[in-house]
Homo-oligomer: A and B are copies of this chain.
Amino acid sequence: MIENKTFDELTVGQSDSLSRTLTQEDIVAFAAVTHDTNPAHLDEEYAKNTLFKGTIAHGMWTAGVISAILGTQFPGAGTIYLGQTMQFRRPVRAGDTVTVTVTVKEKNEENGQVVLDCLVTNQKDEKVVVGEARVIAPKEKIRHEAIAVPKITIG
């Protein structure tokens, strides 16, 4: 069972983290679901001759990991996502482990909105994405069984 954090339970400065290691299959699957077939992500021969000297993840995959922590962990179920800002600072490559840390920056008692600082670092502790999320935090406590990550197969 997992449970969310309600607006009342959140305090300014409180934070939580989630890590993911990116695979080449994740990059292909992300292209499949978004139709973002930019060769920078999928064509190693092409990508060797770019600034990044090889294929890189879609920035929005990393953004998806921010969404994952907000929607499943902190604040979790019942969170309504209002907005996100992001600066893509460095590329993420297959094999990299990214850690998303979200920290409560502001709470608005009148409308239930919460602003969270979002920092994504890689295994070298370099910043890869920085930004802010704006959500309506859950009003009510929700406990539910963790949903298994669906399985997908490429091809």
Tell me the A residues contacting B by CB distance below 8 Å.
20, 26, 28-43, 46, 50-51, 58-61, 63-68, 71-72, 76-88, 131, 144, 146-155
Contacts and interface: CB of A to CB of B under 8 A. Distances in A.
29 contacts: A28-B150, A29-B32, A29-B33, A31-B149, A33-B61, A33-B64, A34-B65, A34-B67, A35-B65, A35-B68, A36-B71, A36-B72, A37-B68, A37-B71, A37-B72, A37-B148, A38-B68, A39-B77, A41-B71, A43-B147, A59-B67, A60-B64, A60-B66, A83-B86, A83-B87, A83-B88, A84-B85, A151-B155, A152-B154
Copies in the complex: 2
Nearest to A82: B88
A86 to B, nearest CB: 5
Contacts of A152: 28-29, 32-33, 152-155
Contacts of A76: 38
B67 A58 contact: yes
Question: Could you tell me the dominant secondary structure of chain A's interface residues?
Answer: mixed
Q: Across chains A and B, which 8 residue pairs bring their CB atoms closest together, nearest first?
A: A38-B71, A34-B64, A36-B68, A37-B147, A32-B150, A83-B87, A32-B152, A29-B33
Contacts of A150: 28-29, 31-32, 37, 42, 154-155
